[in-house]
């Protein structure tokens, strides 16, 4: 894989309007890229490899992506409200412009705002960067009521990489799918969870498509060496 590194001036960046917004977009971009790459790694594992980790690991990266997206959308709102930054968007690649427009649909009054608030915001608040005790208690009672014959499990390996408390993954999965996303018992929980995760994943791709081009253009224009 070939890469090339470009340098810019922190002194110029510190004194230009909109810099804090752009830096935050870059921060979110980095985190989403790592989460996306790591999710892909676990999805590509051969069958029966680390089966006891394969449920929890992808859900972890989905949860983290929701958290990063929630923070990233605040920066998208600032870009839209800033004449300087909004003008720069117009000079971006058409694909990046399209991604920005799609992300703006997740803002208030946008076509995807309700879904974003339903699927992304609660995950960020309850299971991504926090472990909400009320949610955990709810999930334990839910499992006891609806899955009393299904045991929990934990796997102790030779090191931390092969050890997993699978029952904790089940609790987080229950909180996310049954409570936060409100998937009913009558629905196929895996199908619905995959659908919602795919929806969130597409927002991640939009942010990566937009942020990569936008941040690079901003640095070239306002903070060159």
3-state secondary structure of 84: helix
What gap in Å lies between CA 72 and CA 69, rounded to an integer? 5
Structural domain boundaries in the chain: 10-222
Phi-psi category of residue 28: left, alpha or beta, with phi > 0 → left and psi -120 to 50 → alpha: alpha
pLDDT of amino acid 53? 82
Specify the higher pLDDT residue, 142 or 40: 142
pLDDT digits (tens, 9 = 90+) for 2-37: 898 999 999 999 999 999 999 999 999 999 999 988
Q: What is the pLDDT of residue 56?
A: 83
Does the structure show a pLDDT above 90 at 50? no
9 — phi, psi (to 5°)?
-100, 115
Alpha carbons 62 and 120: distance in angstroms, whole number: 10
pLDDT for position 147? 94
The pLDDT tens digits for 165-179 are 999 999 999 999 999
Of 39 and 48, more confident: 39
Q: What is the dihedral of CA 103, 109, 114, 115, to 10 degrees?
A: -20
| Predicted model pTM | 0.90
Average pLDDT for 112-118: 96
């Amino acid at each position: 894989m070939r890469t090339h590194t470009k340098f810019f001036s922190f002194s110029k960046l510190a004194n230009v309007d909109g810099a804090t917004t752009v830096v935050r977009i870059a921060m979110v971009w980095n985190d989403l890229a790592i989460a996306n790459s790591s999710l892909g790694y676990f999805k590509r594992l051969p069958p029966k490899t680390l089966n006891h980790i394969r449920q929890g690991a992808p859900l972890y990266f989905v949860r983290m992506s929701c958290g990063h997206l929630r923070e990233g959308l605040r920066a998208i709102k600032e870009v839209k409200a800033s004449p300087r930054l909004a003008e720069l968007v117009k000079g971006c690649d058409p694909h990046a412009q399209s991604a920005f427009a799609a992300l703006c649909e997740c803002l208030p009054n946008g076509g995807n705002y309700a879904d974003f608030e339903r699927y992304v915001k609660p995950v960020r608040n309850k299971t991504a960067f926090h472990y909400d005790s009320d949610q955990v208690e709810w999930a334990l009672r839910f499992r006891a009521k609806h899955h009393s014959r299904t045991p929990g499990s934990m796997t102790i390996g030779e090191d931390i990489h092969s050890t997993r408390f699978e029952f904790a993954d089940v609790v987080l999965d229950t909180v996310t799918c049954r409570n936060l996303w409100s998937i009913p018992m009558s629905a196929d929980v895996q199908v619905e969870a995959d659908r919602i995760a795919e929806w969130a994943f597409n927002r991640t791709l939009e942010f990566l498509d937009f942020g990569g081009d936008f941040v690079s253009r901003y640095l070239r224009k306002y903070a060159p060496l």
